[in-house]
Amino acid sequence: MARRSATNHLPALPGLQLPGAGTKILVAVSGGLDSMVLLHTLNELSRVERWKLAVAHFNHRLRGRHSDGDEAFVQKTAGAMKLPFYSASADVEKIAKEEKISIEMAGRRLRHEFLARTAREHGARTIALAHHADDQVELFFLRLLRGAGSGLGGMQWRSPSPADSRVSLVRPLLDIPRVALEAFARENQIRYREDATNNSQDYLRNRIRHELLPLLRRNYEPGLNKTILRSMEIVGAESDLVADMAHRWLAPSTSDKANFDELPDAVQRQVLKQQIIELGLRPDFELIESIRLEPGKPVAVSVNNRISRDARGHVSRCRPLVPSFGGHSVTVILRRPGLVFFDGVRFVWGTGTAPKQFRPPRKPAAGKEVFDADKIGHEIVLRHWRVGDRFQPIGMGAAVKLQDLFTNAKVPRERRHQLIVAEAEDGIFWVEGMRIAEPFKVTAGTERLLVWKWRRNGS
């Protein structure tokens, strides 16, 4: 990792980290402060470093003509520098709704796919991004609030593209605070465009930037950036060590290795995480813990996609469930939208922020219910009714035996053991053919919704 400063016409920019001489670089430029400083600095230094630069801009189409104005501004700048210019656009908001993911997540994926594709077309193996030190601090709190673990180590100076591991992402400004970039742009008369969405309180990252961080700096720690960046460096180094230990344990050439159960918890989690990624699945804490703590127990992650780990710590896919009524069960992770089949019933779910003053319909659509997602949690179990099960239907003051409810509802005995129940950590929240559970209903204080849909084959 080289640390240098601009030495040509632009004055020094302390902390700048640069790729090796002669590298072919695709520079991702949004038109904002940080990316314009990056572009001007790399273009100036390319005379000495012999880089071959190209400019790429992705139009998210979130701000109408303002987004188009950003694209035109970046294209004009690239033209003035006589650099190749590549662009693409997509209706990110529409795609996010279709895929039931956040706008930020959809934009990130589409942007990285475009950058990786463009880098290959340009013959470049390096993409320069303009993330800076303030981005690192915001990312730390963003991931902390979302329950990340090893991700608290933050971004690295160099990392593989999430869209193509053969392409490297580099972040030359990663050690530089935004205030230094602002001063640099002002002193060197570097023009850039302001993005009004950076001030919108609709995005969690913006609330962290404009509300949480100023509060912490004002009332708790004036030197917050330095403290957090130091912590991120420590966490990142330790995460790298654990990942390396897991990689060595998984290596086929490792003959004298400890049993999986003898490994430290952190290494166990990383061993499972690496295997889940190799299966083409997205690991999260609930999924990893489910298979780590209960070997041999299948966990459903999507339609016809169930995994488990054996006593040796090896993760593999399970056979698809064969519809047959009985005593088996399946664990389901609800963190992301998904779909799974269980004994002849198709289940689909999704979560999202509860609109203000939301009230579920008095008579929901057939095969659909809405619950308080936070009361249910991220992990549930689908199974059949068992003798002794208790359930509190909405409107009732206490839980009663399901067997008594079946008797009152005149459910035939042969039918009872065929009905499916969905169980959270704090109890059963849904029973096929019954009312929803009182403890899990949507209330005025509900912040997140779980939309739960089901359909039995042939119905």
47-71 tens-digit pLDDT: 888 999 999 999 998 888 888 999 9
pLDDT for 5 equals 41
pLDDT for 182 equals 93
- Residue 81 pLDDT > 50, yes or no? yes
> What does the pLDDT average to over 242-269?
88
- Residue 340 pLDDT > 60, yes or no? yes
pLDDT for 365 equals 74
Least confident residue range of 182-186, 269-273, 441-445:
441-445
SS3 letters across the chain? CEECCCCCCCCCCCCCEECCCCCEEEEECCCCHHHHHHHHHHHHHHHHHCCEEEEEEEECCCCCHHHHHHHHHHHHHHHHCCCCEEEEECCHHHHHHHHCCCHHHHHHHHHHHHHHHHHHHHCCCEEECCCCHHHHHHHHHHHHHCCCCHHHHCCCCEEECCCCCCCEEECCCCCCCHHHHHHHHHHCCCCCCCCHHHHCCCCHHHHHHHHHHHHHHHHCCCCHHHHHHHHHHHHHHHHHHHHHHHHHHHCCCCCCCCCHHHCCHHHHHHHHHHHHHHCCCCCCHHHHHHHHHCCCCCEEEECCEEEEECCCCCEEECCCCCCCCCCCCEEEECCCCEEEEECCEEEEEEEEECCCCCCCCCCCCCCEEEEEHHHHCCEEEEEECCCCCEECECCCCCCEEHHHHHHHCCCCHHHHCCCEEEEECCEEEEECCCCCEHHHCCCCCCCEEEEEEEEECCC
pLDDT for 320 equals 58
Half-sphere exposure of residue 279, counting CA atoms within 13 Å on the CB side? 21
- Residue 325 pLDDT > 60, yes or no? no
pLDDT for 215 equals 93
6 confidence band (pLDDT: 50, 70, 90): very low
Query: Nearest Cα to 172, choosing from 8, 27, 24?
Result: 27
pLDDT for 324 equals 43
Q: What percent of the chain has pLDDT over 70?
A: 90
- Rounded to the nearest integer, the mean pLDDT of the chain is 85
Q: Is 369 helix (H, G, I), strand (E, B) or coil?
A: strand
Least confident residue range of 290-294, 399-403, 454-458:
454-458
More confident residue, 7 or 248: 248
Question: In the numeric block, which tokens belong to residue 456?
Answer: 């039995």
222-246 tens-digit pLDDT: 999 899 999 988 988 898 899 899 9
- Residue 178 pLDDT > 80, yes or no? yes
148 confidence band (pLDDT: 50, 70, 90): low
- Residue 378 pLDDT > 80, yes or no? yes
More confident residue, 13 or 139: 139
> What does the pLDDT average to over 207-224?
91
pLDDT for 8 equals 44
- Residue 1 pLDDT > 50, yes or no? no
199 confidence band (pLDDT: 50, 70, 90): low
pLDDT for 322 equals 44
pLDDT for 34 equals 94
pLDDT for 20 equals 80
- Residue 398 pLDDT > 60, yes or no? yes
89-116 tens-digit pLDDT: 999 888 888 776 778 888 999 999 999 9
